[in-house]
Structure 1
C-alpha cells in the first residue's frame, strides 16, 4: 500500500478554504494534515473537501485558535488526542489507517518572542509541551507511526537562512533544539524529510513581514514529517511545495510531502 501524506499549517481553514481545495485538486495527497485551523470542527468546510474525495476526517478544533485536522481519501479511525502540557488547546490528534499505521498531527506552541521562560510564559509552555511529548513517547513507545505537523522549531543549521543570527530567535535557540531532539530520541523518530534530502537549505515557513518573501528567502523549516524507525525506510519522495507560499492570500507556511510504501 502506497500513500502520500502532506502537512500544512493553513493559518485559518475557513479563510483559506480555496487554497486547501487547490492543493487537493492539484497535488491530491492521500492524507492531508492541517494545523492552526482556527475553527470548531463543525465549522470546518468539510462538505467541500468531501466533494474533492476527502471523505474521512479526524479533527479537534476550537474557536479562533489552534485546531488540527486529518483529512483523508483512505479510511481512518479516530485514535484520540493528548493535551500535552495541560494547556487545554486543540494541538494534537491521531488517526489510524486500516494497515495499522498511526498518524499523529501536532501543532507545537510557537513560544512567543522572548526565549526566556522566566519573562515569557509562552516560551515555558512550549518547552513543557515538548517535555510532555518526550515523556509520553518514551512511556508509550510507538511502532508503525508517522508524526507530522508544525513543530515550530528549525533544528539544523541548514534549516534556517542564517544560523548565527537566529541562535537567539525563538524557533532556533539551542534549548528548543535540545528539547526537540530529546523528544525525537525518546520516540525513536526519524526525520523523513532530511532522510530524503540530507543536505542543503530547506525551508517551509517565510515571514509575512518580508516585503518580498521569495527574493529575501529568509526561511525556516518549521514543518516536519517523521516516522518510527520500523517504517522510516519505506518513506521517499519528500518535498516542500514552496510555490504555495506565493498563492493568493497564502499561509506563511508551505505544505510538506512524503510518500510511504507500506
Structure 2
C-alpha cells in the first residue's frame, strides 16, 4: 500500500479551513496531520473535509490553543495520546492504519522567547516535554511507526537561515538540538525529509513579522517527518510546499510531504 502523508501547523483550523481545503483539493495527500488546530474536536469543520474524501479523523482538541488532528482518506483507528510533562495540553494523538502502521502527530511546545528555564517557564516545559518523549520511546521501542509534526526545533545548521545568528534563539539552541537528538535516537527515528534531501538549506516556517517573507527568506525547518528503521526505506518523495506560505490568510508554516510504499 502506497500513501502520501503531509504535516502542517495550520495555526487555527477553523480560521484557515479554506486553505486546508485548497491543499486537500490541489495536492490530495492520503493523510494530513495538522497541529495548532486551536479548536475543540467537535468544532473542527469536518463536513468540508469529508466532502473532499477525508472521511476519517482522529484528533485531540483544546479551545483556542494547541490541538492536533489526523485527517485521512484511509481508515484509521484512534490509539491514544500522551500528555508529556503533565501540561494538560492537546499536543499528541496517534492513529493506526489498516496495514498496522502507527502515525504519531506531535506539537512540541514552542518554548517562549528566552532559552533559559530559570527565567522562562515555557522553555523548561519544552525541554521536559522532549525528555519525557525520549524516555517513552526508550520504553516503547516503536516499530512500524511514523512520527510527524511541528517539533519546534530546527536541528541542523542548514535547517536555519543563519546558524551563527540563531544559536541563542529558541528553536535552534544547542540545548534544544541536543534534546531533540536524544529523543530521535531513543526511537531510532530516521529523518525522512533529510534522507531524501540530504544537502542544502531547507525551511518550513517563516515569521509573520517579516514584511516580505519570501524575499527575506529567513526560514527555519521546524516541521518534521520521521520513521522507524523498519519502514524508513519505504519513504520517498519528500518536499515542502513553500508556496502555501503565500496563500491567502496563510499559516506561518508550510506543509511537509512524504510518500511511503508499504
Band of TM-score, shorter chain: over 0.9
Once residues 106 and 141 of structure 1 are traced to their aligned partners in structure 2, the CA distance between those partners, rounded to angstroms, is 17
The corresponding residue for 2:15 is: 15
The corresponding residue for 1:208 is: 208
* Cα-Cα RMSD: 0.2
Once residues 25 and 2 of structure 1 are traced to their aligned partners in structure 2, the CA distance between those partners, rounded to angstroms, is 19
Measured against aligned partners, the alpha-carbon deviations of 1:56-113 in whole angstroms (never above 9, x if no partner) come to: 0000001000000000000000010000110000000000000000000000000000
The corresponding residue for 1:94 is: 94
Alignment of 1:101-140 (within 5 A): 101-140=101-140
The corresponding residue for 1:34 is: 34
2:177 is equivalent to residue 167 of structure 1: no
The corresponding residue for 2:74 is: 74
Question: Runs ≥4 in structure 1, deviation > 6 angstroms?
Answer: none
TM-score in terms of structure 1 length: 1.00
> Which consecutive residues of structure 2, in runs of 5 or more, have no partner in the other structure?
none
The corresponding residue for 2:46 is: 46
Displacement, 1:260?
0.1
2:221 is equivalent to residue 221 of structure 1: yes
TM-score in terms of structure 2 length: 1.00
Displacement, 1:206?
0.1
Once residues 46 and 59 of structure 1 are traced to their aligned partners in structure 2, the CA distance between those partners, rounded to angstroms, is 11
Measured against aligned partners, the alpha-carbon deviations of 1:31-57 in whole angstroms (never above 9, x if no partner) come to: 000000000000000011000000000
Aligned residues between the structures: 262
Once residues 137 and 51 of structure 1 are traced to their aligned partners in structure 2, the CA distance between those partners, rounded to angstroms, is 37
Displacement, 1:202?
0.1
3-state SS of paired residue (2:230): coil
The corresponding residue for 2:152 is: 152
> Which consecutive residues of structure 1, in runs of 5 or more, have no partner in the other structure?
none
Measured against aligned partners, the alpha-carbon deviations of 1:103-143 in whole angstroms (never above 9, x if no partner) come to: 00000000000000000000000000000000000000100
